[in-house]
Chains A and B, each alone.
Chain A
Amino acid sequence: MSSFAPSALAGYLIVSGLLLTIGLVGFLVRRNLIVMFLCTELMFQGAAIAFVAVGRYLFDYSGQVMVIFILTVAAAEAALALALVVLLHRQKETLDADAYVELQE
Chain B
Amino acid sequence: MDLFLPYIACVTLALTVFAALRPSPPSLQIAMVAIGAAAGGWLIGIVTGSLSAFGDVSHGIFFIIFSLCAIAAAIRMITHQRPVYCALHFVLVVIASAGLLLMLEAEFMAFALVIVYAGAILITYMFVLMLANQAENPDEPYTQATYDRVPREPAAAVAVGFLLLCLITGTVTGGTSALPQQSDTNAQWFVLEKLSTQFEHAVFEVAPEFAWPPVSENKHIVQFGMDGAFIVSQKGEVLLLDKSMLPTNTQMVGWSLVNDFPVTIELAGVILLMAMFGAAVLARRAIELSEREKRIAILGQDTEEAGGDT
Which A positions have Cβ atoms within 8 angstroms of B?
1-15, 17-26, 28-32, 34-35, 37-39, 41-42, 45, 48-49, 52-53, 55-59, 61-62, 64-65, 67-69, 71-80, 82-87, 89-90, 94-98
B131 within 8 A of A: yes
B 258-287 binary contact with A (CB < 8 Å = 1; else 0): 001100110010011011101100110100
Given known pairs A7-B53, A68-B112, the reply for A17 and B169 (CB within 8 Å) is: yes
A52-B104, A73-B271 known; A64-B256 Cβ under 8 A: yes
Closest B residue to A59 by beta carbon equals B182
Contact, CB under 8 Å: A80 / B176: no
Instruction: Give the complex CA separation of A79 and B283 in angstroms.
Output: 10
Q: Which residues in A have their C-beta under 8 angstroms from that of B279?
A: 79-80, 82-83
B305 at the interface (CB under 8 A from A): no
Complex interface: chain B residues within 8 A of A82 (CB): 124-125, 127-128, 279
CB-based nearest B residue for A76? B275
Closest-by-CB residue of B relative to A87 is B282
Name the A residues within 8 Å of B93 (CB-CB): 19, 42, 45
Interface residues contributed by chain B, number (CB under 8 Å):
100
Select which of B53, B104, B131, B176 is within 8 A of A56 by beta carbon: B104
Complex A-B: 8 CB contacts under 8 Å: A5-B53, A11-B53, A25-B157, A37-B125, A48-B97, A52-B109, A65-B253, A78-B125
Is B132 interfacial (CB 8 A cutoff)? yes
- A6 and B176 within 8 A (CB): yes
Cβ of B117 within 8 Å of any chain A Cβ, yes or no, is yes
Q: Which residues of A contact B67 (CB under 8 A)?
A: 11, 15
Q: From residue A16, how far is it (CB to closest CB) to chain B in Å?
A: 9
A21 B162 Cβ-Cβ under 8 A? yes
Given A10-B172, A82-B125, A56-B106 contact (CB < 8 Å): yes
Contact call A71/B176, Cβ cutoff below 8 A: no
CB under 8 Å from chain A, chain B span 165-215:
165, 168-169, 172-173, 176-177, 179-185, 187
Complex-state Cα separation, A79 to B147, whole angstroms = 23
Residues of B within 8 A of A57 (CB): 179, 181
Contact status B134-A3, CB under 8 Å: no
Q: Decide yes or no whether B239 CB sits under 8 A from chain A.
A: no
Contact between B17 and A22, CB atoms less than 8 A apart: yes
Instruction: Answer yes or no: B7 CB below 8 A from chain A CBs.
Output: no
Partner of B272, one of A25, A56, A75: A75
Q: Are B48 and A23 in contact (CB under 8 A)?
A: no
Q: Which residues of A contact B230 (CB under 8 A)?
A: none
User: Is A15 within 8 A of B271, CB to CB?
Assistant: no
B160 to chain A, nearest CB (A): 7
Measured CB to CB, the nearest residue on chain A to B86 is: A35
Q: Once the chains are docked, how many angstroms separate the CA of A17 from the CA of B104?
A: 17
A contact residues around B162 at 8 Å (CB): 21, 25
Q: Output the least CB separation between B282 and chain A (Å).
A: 4
Whether B128 contacts A34 by the Cβ 8 Å rule is: yes
Collect the chain A residues with CB atoms within 8 Å of residue B265's CB. Answer: 68
B302 to chain A minimum Cβ distance, whole angstroms, is: 28
The 5 A-B pairs with the shortest beta carbon distances in the complex, nearest first, are A26-B78, A76-B275, A28-B157, A17-B168, A83-B282
